[in-house]
Structure 1
Amino acid sequence: MTDKNTTTNLMSPKGKLKWPKIKEPDYGTDKFPDPNGSYRTKIVFDRKDPTVDAFLKKIDKAMEQARELAEERLAELSTKARRKIEEDGGIKADPPYSDEYDKDDEPTGNIEMQVKRKASGISKKTGKPWKATVPVFDAKGKKMRHVPDIWGGSVARLGIELRPYFVEGTGRFGVQRSLDVVKLISLVQGGDSASKYDMEEEDGYDGDDYDYEAEQSRDETSDDTDADAGEGTEGGYNF
């Protein structure tokens, strides 16, 4: 039997970030609000990069586990619930990544993936509120105390936790892609738990180059927030 709590931790290849919300959470729009907020970004990979193919194969393996879970969960449903899903065409996969298209709706040859992480909530175990942040490292593997504004076009590697899911009401399955850490390789501004991950030094963005003074006032309370954070924070990664 497939363990629904099985998780897989992967460090992604280098990719360009698209519409990142990493320093501050995204609370959605009036039409589609996200009251608790989410850290999120798309990351775009060059399909010609040989490391990308190896990474996607690991994602595909996680999807196979999610399908096994969905088939097992389907068999456990009531006859009425199972018949409804089967009449709708059976279980269906939510693709974890897709081809990227340009403004003319033409494929670019790249692959893009959406990842996100809840910014706050209420713990199911304790009933207490929690808040989360996304740890950001520079290219040397040093954790950044003061996170800069990270704009689209910045290059990064992402630490991602994969967890299979199955939605009984619709028969859809897939893998949740939780944003655990960001390793910033190159920073763009003004434009448009690491033991489980590969955090070796690389050429690229050095956090010592960042003007910390410009962000000091906003981050004065960051230590207190991190210290009080509960579910959804760094999760015991040894950075």
Structure 2
Amino acid sequence: MLDEVLLLQLGQVRQTWAKGQLKEAYDRYEVLLEEYPEHPTILREYGHALFMEYGDLEKSALLLERALEQEPDSIITLQCLCLLYSWGYGHGYAAAGPLYRRLIALAPTDKQICVNAYLGIGTMRGAPGCSLNPQESRDAFQMATEIDPEYVNAWLNLTTLCCELRDWPAAQIAATRAEALCRQQGHSTSYAQKLLDHINRQEPLKNRSYYNGTYLNFRWPNIPLE
């Protein structure tokens, strides 16, 4: 638990950040780290602030890695690091997969976390240092559709992978489901229709487009300070 003084200080820094006074906020985080150099909450808050603003993402990864050493089961820290690693920051691409799996193990009943984690795993195939094969990628996308059958990106990713594998019957099913969901949810159907065109012609995709989840589960700065 945070003591009252530090809780108040961190709350004030959050407010400063939320007002767009970023330099002031970061300077205040630096001051707090001088006094509490390995405090996990300060490290997490500072790293998360940089992450949310697309600031110094290498520094964000470093801060969050230090925070994770102190709090190995911090969901928000793991979520941020998964994305940073999947973009090549911090420990890099190869480190993303194990963290995504760790998230699933820590939050097996959280549908949004698990769906995004499986999408993240599936999209890592082909990244430098990652040994994921096409079937493992497909299995990850399939799991995402099973956990949340209403999530369009999961079906689009599964369709794209099936097209790449030239499994046209499975691709047809997934693309049809994706297009129907896009219509129901008011999204553009253009990518789903493009995939259906390729499937109907049984024509390999020239470029693959994958979606590795959303940021909707990052509710900071509304997450209570601990």
TM-score, reference length from structure 2: 0.21
Higher relative contact order (CA 8 A, sep 6+): 1
Report the TM-score, using the length of structure 1 for normalisation: 0.20
Structure holding more strand per residue: 1
Higher helix fraction (1 or 2): 2
